[in-house]
């Protein structure tokens, strides 16, 4: 899938680990893990609004 090859809103559903994109006039769903590189480019792009949950996550290692 090419980076430019979509239009409209990208909706990420972390509960089902999928995201939907509007392409060719239809809304299509994709697996997040299978398309992580592509999705990261969308998220990193300032030009595109990505719908995210307003939540807080931590990445951490155990060290006491």
- Which residues here bind another protein, judged by CB under 8 A? 12, 14, 32, 36, 39-40, 43, 52-64
Q: Which is nearer to another protein, 24 or 54 (CB)?
A: 54
Please state the closest distance from residue 64 (CB atom) to another protein, in A: 3
Report how far residue 51's alpha carbon sits from residue 29's, in angstroms, rounded to the nearest whole number. 15
Please state the closest distance from residue 25 (CB atom) to another protein, in A: 26
Burial classification of residue 19, based on how many CB atoms lie within 10 Å of its CB (0-12 exposed, 13-18 middle, 19 or more buried):
buried
Q: Which is nearer to another protein, 2 or 61 (CB)?
A: 61
- Three-state DSSP at 11 gives strand
């Amino acid at each position: 899938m090419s980076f430019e090859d979509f239009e409209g809103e990208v909706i990420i559903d972390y509960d089902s680990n999928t995201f939907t994109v509007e392409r060719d006039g239809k809304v299509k769903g994709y697996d997040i893990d299978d398309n992580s590189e592509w999705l990261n480019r969308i998220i990193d792009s300032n030009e595109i609004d990505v719908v995210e949950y307003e939540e807080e996550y931590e990445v951490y290692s155990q060290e006491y």
